[in-house]
Structure 1
Amino acid sequence: MFSLTYQKLATLGRKNVRMVMLTLFVGAMIINYLARSVMGVAAPVILSEQGITNQQYGWITGALQLGIMCQPLAGMLLDRVGLRVGFAVFALAWSAITLAHGLARGWLGFAGLRLALGMAEGSAQPAGQKLVAEWFPARERGMAGGIYNIGASLGAVLAPPLVAWSVYATGSWRIAFVATGVLGGLWAALWFLFYAPVNRHRAVTPEERRLIVEGQEAHLQAGAPSLPLRRLLTDRNLWGIALPRLLADPVWGMLSLWLPLYLARERGFDLAHIALLAWLPFLAADLGCLFGPAVASFLQRRGVALVNARRMTFSLGALMMTGVGLVGLVANPYVALALLCLAGFAHQTLSVTVITLASDLFPRNDVGTVAGFSGLAANLGVLIFSLSLGSLIDSIGYSPFFLTLGCLDLMGAAVLWTLVRKPS
């Protein structure tokens, strides 16, 4: 029975190699966002042990975002070197830096490591968009983007129990960083061994290769010349993707970097309760990763053009996001957590949608670069939000920040409808 099941799986893999490659990439996203999220979950313990203030923690989180803002460089490198070698090197780098967190002392030490970590980990979104553009026909791109972004949420889901285990079982939060770094190194070896481009992958059948190539828009295929950087930077579609991401991603920064600290200091949760409940907004975010592409696909089947379907889905997510504005106003901590779950769901509904537009609007040779610039904008938004929160939280509290988060995506939807133009 086992051999029969294995044969069926092997046959399915040969007929659908693109899903095997996507599944392998999901592993990278899980480890990437696990490495980012461990610091946030361990923050209540680390800040107390190291005597780090809220303002200093704001600089630590800001350093991560500053590093991730190097995404355009990562995207350009991946466009030129390719995913197999380029992304393996980035994964090895972020794994080594994560391991080094186990030796960190003081807020400056953490800030330096977070800066370096962001520079390496910022490669993930450009790599994901490049993989989707290379391996999937147009009708499957939204689904593929949603699936690989599940890895981001799942990594954040795993961080609370990992940190709790590290503290309670070993007596040290540092073990959580060591375990995550080792996992990343193992994954990088698997990627280097098994990944290859579509046109050189030995397992891809002629039928699957034809399905991929014929299902992609002619003006986006690999033969199209890369646009000069100056031309890209003046393209309204690039800014139509980047500005909504700048406005949308602060809520993800709130969830992944500040949520455990908020639950501990404002809602009275201890580490055990954080491990038990703080992953729920990220589980909701996983569902949003699937909901967004499903809505866009539903609209397309009813005759809505692809780009308009993406814009309508983003707008739906923006309307749901208004609920996060109530988080600081409700007295019950579990109602507040439920609203944060809605925020996670809404954010990934709209985030996956706007991220996928890079592979809908630009040639494959430019997708990594475009995704890098939109990622720079997204992390600039998180940087501004995080530094503001760290500086002002002690004087004005969290409520004004939650109210702001509830409005930003409505502005992003207006930008998306105004700037983005369907390709001719």
Structure 2
Amino acid sequence: MGKRTGKRTRVRWNIAILMWAAIAINYLDRTVLSATTPALMEEFGLDAAQMGIIMSAFFWSYALFQIPAGWLADKVGQRFSLAFCVAWWSIATALTALSQGLKSLLIFRVLLGIGEAGAYPSNAGVTAKWFPDKERTRVSAIFDSGSKVGTALAMPLVVWLMTMFGWKVPFIVSGLLGLIWVVIWWAYYRDPEKHMYVNQDELTYIRDGQVKKEGLNQTKSMKWYELLKYRNIQAMCVGFFMLNYAIYFFITWFPAYLVQERGFELMKMGWVSMIPPLVGLVAELIAGWFSDHLYSKGYSLTFVRKLSLVGGMLLATMIAFPDWLIPQCFPLLYCLFLMPV
């Protein structure tokens, strides 16, 4: 492979777009069930408790298989692991159209969780290989913003497809989108040293910007369970447990809540359900840029990450406040986010 010289290429950002698309499809596929929940409950005679079991089935298999999925990505490489996982969950999504009731919905949701468990571990490995340290927060925000786009897109798109063609068609369409992505990823992705479109200038820029040269050091690996003894890992586990508990209300029960408790029509529910993920998309991109900006100015990674995570979660708590109290929070928000650091 000949490495072209001259102006530095920017292939890494094409890789970032593909990672973004994978996460967008990931969340589109997991959100289809939420948008179709009113129709499924009516057709199969499911009550709220049974629907809750179906929704939680995804998360049990998703959580259980994340560590094995990370091991697989490190073992066989992210090109194969991400393609395999997206193909798996896309097929599981499409097959959900064959559901006949509670048991079959449970099976397909478990299969979906197994496949989707590999998305973030694989993307983390790709980011470590393709991006210098100073760009990692930004690219992580970019590809994770796909979760908001996928969720936002799912609501009106799925409701429209369901209204026009029935609840089965959204599952089939979502599954096909994932399989198309797999073909594109397999054809385009290679590690930086092997990619035909990366010139030496970009490769040097990536490697010189990494404190630890990913893919170049042959150090002894650590057992995954040994990570649990570190305080930072423990704090991350607790923090993401709390964060995801709030996030997944909007991904699971929010559409049904709007229809059943607020009396929204289906299409109106689809549009209103877009609001939380779209606001999250804008905020995440700004936070990613702002974090990299602070890091480039000399602030420690610990401070930068705590500012974004803790500040964002404090903002999210306002959902539980009564309406009259929210304006009283503005002075606190000003102190947290707008005053010079």
Same fold (TM over 0.5): yes
Q: How far apart, CA to CA, are the structure 2 residues paired with 1:14 and 1:31?
A: 30
Q: How far apart, CA to CA, are the structure 1 residues paired with 2:39 and 2:49?
A: 16
1:120 counterpart = 2:115: yes
The CA deviation string for residues 61-104 of structure 1, in whole angstroms up to 9 with x for no partner, is 11000111110010110011101112111111111111111110
| Residue of structure 1 equivalent to 2:144 | 149
1:263 counterpart = 2:253: no
Shift of the 330–57 alpha-carbon distance from structure 1 to 2, 3 Å rule, reads farther
Q: 2:27, 2:150 within 8 Å by CA — same for their partners in 1?
A: yes
By how many angstroms is 1:216 displaced?
0.8
| Residue of structure 1 equivalent to 2:131 | 136
Which residue identity does 1:258 align to in structure 2? W
Q: 2:160, 2:267 within 8 Å by CA — same for their partners in 1?
A: no
How do 1:4-83 and structure 2 match up within 5 A?
A: 15-69=9-63, 70-83=65-78
- Give the number of equivalent residue pairs: 320
SS at match of 1:15: coil
By how many angstroms is 1:15 displaced?
0.8
By how many angstroms is 1:291 displaced?
2.3
Aligned counterpart in structure 2 of residue 323 of structure 1, from 303, 318, 325? 318
How do 1:94-105 and structure 2 match up within 5 A?
A: 94-105=89-100
Which residue identity does 2:200 align to in structure 1? P
| Residue of structure 1 equivalent to 2:104 | 109
How do 1:154-233 and structure 2 match up within 5 A?
A: 154-170=149-165, 172-218=166-212, 222-223=216-217, 224-233=219-228
By how many angstroms is 1:167 displaced?
2.2
Unpaired segments ≥5 residues, structure 2: 327-332, 334-341
Measured on the aligned residues, the alpha-carbon RMSD in Å equals 2.2
Q: How far apart, CA to CA, are the structure 2 residues paired with 1:179 and 1:68?
A: 22
The CA deviation string for residues 123-174 of structure 1, in whole angstroms up to 9 with x for no partner, is 111111111111111110010000001111111111112222222222x111
Q: How far apart, CA to CA, are the structure 1 residues paired with 2:231 and 2:216?
A: 22
Q: 2:81, 2:118 within 8 Å by CA — same for their partners in 1?
A: no
| Residue of structure 1 equivalent to 2:272 | 277
SS at match of 1:218: coil
By how many angstroms is 1:219 displaced?
7.4
Which residue identity does 2:306 align to in structure 1? R
| Residue of structure 2 equivalent to 1:240 | 235
1:90 counterpart = 2:71: no
Q: How far apart, CA to CA, are the structure 1 residues paired with 2:260 and 2:24?
A: 27
Unpaired segments ≥5 residues, structure 1: 1-10, 337-345, 347-424
Q: How far apart, CA to CA, are the structure 1 residues paired with 2:192 and 2:107?
A: 38
Q: 2:90, 2:176 within 8 Å by CA — same for their partners in 1?
A: yes
